[in-house]
Structure 1
Amino acid sequence: MTTHDQHAEHGGTTGVGWAMAAQATLHCLTGCAVGEVLGMVIGTATGMHNAGTIVLSVVLAFVFGYALTMRGVLRSGASVASAVKIALAADTVSIAVMELIDNTVVVAIPGAMEAQLSDWLFWGSLVLSLALAFVVTTPVNRWMMRRGLGHAVVHGHH
């Protein structure tokens, strides 16, 4: 292993590989998916308008995405104010890209926004949209992490 490889393995930013970017994206996707699915379920179950359902899903995706990051940062001993700043810096772009992709996909699938909780189209469109969001967001996260941005700011706090 070269010095460069060792540096990258231990949190250096220039050698951020696809595996590290995918892991960061998966971490972000976990929080986003919880919020996104919960928002879609609540919006659909209560008969909210499509726009309201999407807004609720996006808001909850950000809340759960940030909360998941903050949980780990707070465990490291950071203050709440510090954890909020780190979560905002680490996840904002990643969550925004994911939300743009997954909501665009769901809206683009004919009938998905009108599907009910018991319909395969409801769940299938969510799974497809989140999978595509992961694929699109991973290179974005890698690019950011290689520059010391995004999820790279969290690595010193886990």
Structure 2
Amino acid sequence: MDTTGWRPALQATLHCLTGCAIGEVLGMVIGTSLGWHNAATVVLSIALAFVFGYALTMRGVLAAGVTFRQALSVALAADTVSIAVMEVVDNGVVLAVPGAMDAGLGSVLFWGSLAVSLLIAFVVTTPVNRWMIGRGRGHAVVHQYHH
């Protein structure tokens, strides 16, 4: 089984993307629908991305029978760098698209920029995850809990 190549990096990044996308979209929808300032919306989106990203990892690790504290420790070690990179990239892209944050929930610009930002974040984060997994870090720490 390839534990340091592109396949595990792609899987780890897809896992990260899932949690980040849930939190990111939810945060953007909440902040935008409430008319919050861009900064508050981005902060909420980032916080929710971390919450959902860690929660997805912890769900699998807890299923392996470890304590909540151990699962949290594994999630922090496995996902922090990946989520951070993904959030910097995807929020940076959305903020760089003129008018995207102010476009509103019914706008193609809003949803299109969000989708493109997550795609770009996936592409940028995958080599980071490969590098970390190759050094026994990042999502490599979760592998011992997979059945």
Q: TM-score range, shorter-chain basis?
A: over 0.9
Deviation for aligned residue 1:20: 1.3
1:143 pairs with 2:131: yes
**Matched residue type, 1:18:** W
Aligned to 1:58: 46
Moved over 3 A (4+): none
User: Which structure: larger Rg?
Assistant: 1
Aligned to 2:30: 42
Q: TM-score with structure 2 length normalisation?
A: 0.98
Deviation for aligned residue 1:17: 1.2
**Matched residue type, 1:28:** C
Aligned to 2:55: 67
Task: Specify which of 131, 141, 146 is matched with residue 153 of structure 1.
Answer: 141
**Matched residue type, 1:30:** T
Identity of aligned residues (%): 70
Q: Deviations over 1:45-104 (max 9, x none)?
A: 000110000000000000000000000000011110000000000000000000000000
Gaps of 5+ in 2: none
Aligned to 2:68: 80
Count of residue pairs the alignment pairs up: 146
- Contact 2:2-2:8 at 8 Å conserved across structures: no
| Aligned-partner Cα distance in 1 for 2:8–2:72 | 23
Task: Specify which of 87, 90, 108 is matched with residue 120 of structure 1.
Answer: 108
Deviation for aligned residue 1:10: 6.2
**Matched residue type, 2:104:** Q
